Chain A
Amino acid sequence: MIEFLNSNAELIIRSVVLFLFFLTILVLLMAFFSRWKLRRRERRRTRVTEILGERIIRYASGDIPIEDVQKHLQKQQDYTVMLEIVNQLDQVLGGPEKERLQELMEVESTRVYFENRFRSGEPVFQAKACLWLAKRKSIQRDKISELMEMSSAGDPILAYAASYALIRHGSREEKRAALRNVLLNHRISNMAVNDLLHQLTLLGEEYHRFEMETLTQFVADAEIPPGRTALLIHVLNEMEYFHSFEFLKEYYHNEGGKHDSPEVVEAIIYAMARFGYEEILPDLQELYVNSKHSEVREAAAWAMGFFMKEESIPFLKWLVNDPNYNVCYKAARALAGYPDIDMSRIRHPNISDGDWNNLTGEIRMTEMKGGI
């Protein structure tokens, strides 16, 4: 080995140097070439974005015909630019403007471009094509079954985008099936699911009866994991779907209130309190204040403060001693809500006097600002 290295040292180095030399030249040439190309493309993109933006706005306002937008769609990237612009507008618009934007999605060349992507087999491209489908006014039935298959795909991005399209275009049953696929796919994050649920609630059919029923059905669905169930309950609460109250009440008594998952119990306590169901008070005072999960005790403290009943006071005072800061804070806040309680006289063995003053002071401040 040493022998070999010694006798061939110069050869080794010479060949490496030669190789590196060519590599350097190659890299440099490539660098300048692609740089030049990129710059051209980039400049074009900026120009196209500007022109298309302006055209699409005028077209959406009904001032110019669709052809005036179309003639600016020349290259592949123009379609992506257009989709981006339409996406932004589509989110906030309704009425005839929105319909015009949808017509833009129907133009022949746009269709060909996205149909190809839809069949590409590459999840990210397919997902983008799904978003395009979602923006259209209506889609063919045969697409639906393909979308349905995609919504159960393992790839979270594709599943998300396919369900997104189905929520816009599927029948009620299909919407439900797609959402259920998503809820069961553990690779999709809660925030992404929330996004889809938000899309669903935007539909606003029949005073949200359909959305509400869908969500409650999922809550009752035993196969859906508890983390998602909690999310669904939070959404029902957050969207103020008061019609779901009867269902949630049942669910609370049969299952939710005793659920193994603290997330579910927490969610249902908040929902029941927000919907004004005072009958949970005994449970709050006997069961939940002693829960071994701090998030449940926290929810209990908040809920007791929400109802502000005289008989909750001793329990709240007790929760002020909780080792968990959040529980203690919520309990203190709840107590501060009572008109005739002197916060400075509450016992707080786990908190120093200085910290307690800060805590009560903060509560006073937030109350003045009208926070939650």
Chain B
Amino acid sequence: MAMNKKHILVVEDEQMTARLVVYRLKALGHNVVHKDNGVEGLDYILKERPEVLVLDVMLPGMSGFEILENLRDSEEIDRSSMKVLMLTTKSRTEDISRGFDLGAVEYIPKPFKMDEFLLRLNRVMNS
């Protein structure tokens, strides 16, 4: 188990959803940090370099897409070391493809099933 312990950042502005996700991830032994707006989320990523990102698209301050754009343009960040999973209500096809273009590995539309979320997250982490 100890080997699979990851440093995960959850950027999500809906308090209860965030708390639920954080609770489950913590229960699995991960090191989880939560930010509820895009600007603080990006600051954290740049400073602390989490291994996995769980991103919402619609965020106050800066959207999930903008965070990804910023990361793409940033030279100091090695994107391949950071896995991105989008968790969002925006599920129109063009949005999904935009997420993937920007480097997201998984895209989970809300409403979501927790088990499926964890399963996909696992896959992302082990890929």
Q: Does A touch B (CB under 8 Å) in the complex?
A: yes
**Are A88 and B114 in contact, CB atoms less than 8 angstroms apart?**
no
Known: A88-B15, A89-B17, A240-B92. A57 touches B111 (CB 8 A): no
Least Cβ distance of B66 to chain A in Å? 11
**Are A53 and B111 in contact, CB atoms less than 8 angstroms apart?**
no
Residues of B89-111 contacting chain A, CB below 8 A: 89, 92-93, 98, 110-111
Query: What are the interface flags for B1-43 relative to A under an 8 Å C-beta threshold, 1 for contact and 0 otherwise?
Result: 0000000000000111101100110010000000000000000
Tell me if B47 is interfacial: C-beta within 8 Å of chain A.
no
Chain A residues whose CB sits within 8 angstroms of the CB of B89 once the complex forms: 92
Tell me if A354 is interfacial: C-beta within 8 Å of chain B.
no
The binding surface of chain A is classed by DSSP as helix
Chain A residues whose CB sits within 8 angstroms of the CB of B115 once the complex forms: 95-96
Identify B20's interface contact among A60, A94, A202, CB under 8 A: A60
Closest A residue to B114 by beta carbon equals: A97
Least Cβ distance of A4 to chain B in Å? 65
Identify A94's interface contact among B14, B92, B113, CB under 8 A: B113
Identify B14's interface contact among A61, A63, A92, A240, CB under 8 A: A92
Identify A57's interface contact among B19, B92, B93, CB under 8 A: B19
CA A61 to CA B16, docked complex, whole Å: 13
Identify B23's interface contact among A58, A88, A94, A240, CB under 8 A: A58
Closest A residue to B17 by beta carbon equals: A92
Range, interface on chain A:
20 to 34
Query: What are the interface flags for A198-212 relative to B under an 8 Å C-beta threshold, 1 for contact and 0 otherwise?
Result: 000010000000000
Tell me if A175 is interfacial: C-beta within 8 Å of chain B.
no
**Are A61 and B116 in contact, CB atoms less than 8 angstroms apart?**
no
Chain A residues whose CB sits within 8 angstroms of the CB of B110 once the complex forms: 91-92
Known: A89-B16, A92-B14. A61 touches B113 (CB 8 A): no
Least Cβ distance of A338 to chain B in Å? 22
Least Cβ distance of B11 to chain A in Å? 15
Closest A residue to B15 by beta carbon equals: A88
**Are B23 and A61 in contact, CB atoms less than 8 angstroms apart?**
yes
CA A96 to CA B111, docked complex, whole Å: 12
CA A251 to CA B61, docked complex, whole Å: 43
Tell me if A85 is interfacial: C-beta within 8 Å of chain B.
yes
Chain B residues whose CB sits within 8 angstroms of the CB of A97 once the complex forms: 20, 113-114
CA A93 to CA B17, docked complex, whole Å: 8
Residues of A61-107 contacting chain B, CB below 8 A: 61, 63, 85, 88-89, 91-98
Closest A residue to B89 by beta carbon equals: A92
Least Cβ distance of A340 to chain B in Å? 26
Known: A57-B16, A58-B23. A91 touches B111 (CB 8 A): yes
Closest 6 A-B residue pairs measured CB to CB?
A95-B113, A88-B16, A92-B110, A94-B113, A94-B111, A92-B17
What are 30 sample pairs from A and B whose C-beta atoms fall under 8 A apart?
A53-B16, A53-B19, A57-B16, A57-B20, A58-B23, A60-B20, A61-B23, A61-B24, A61-B27, A63-B27, A88-B14, A88-B15, A88-B17, A89-B17, A89-B20, A91-B110, A92-B17, A92-B111, A93-B111, A93-B114, A95-B113, A95-B115, A95-B116, A96-B114, A97-B20, A97-B114, A98-B111, A202-B111, A240-B92, A240-B93
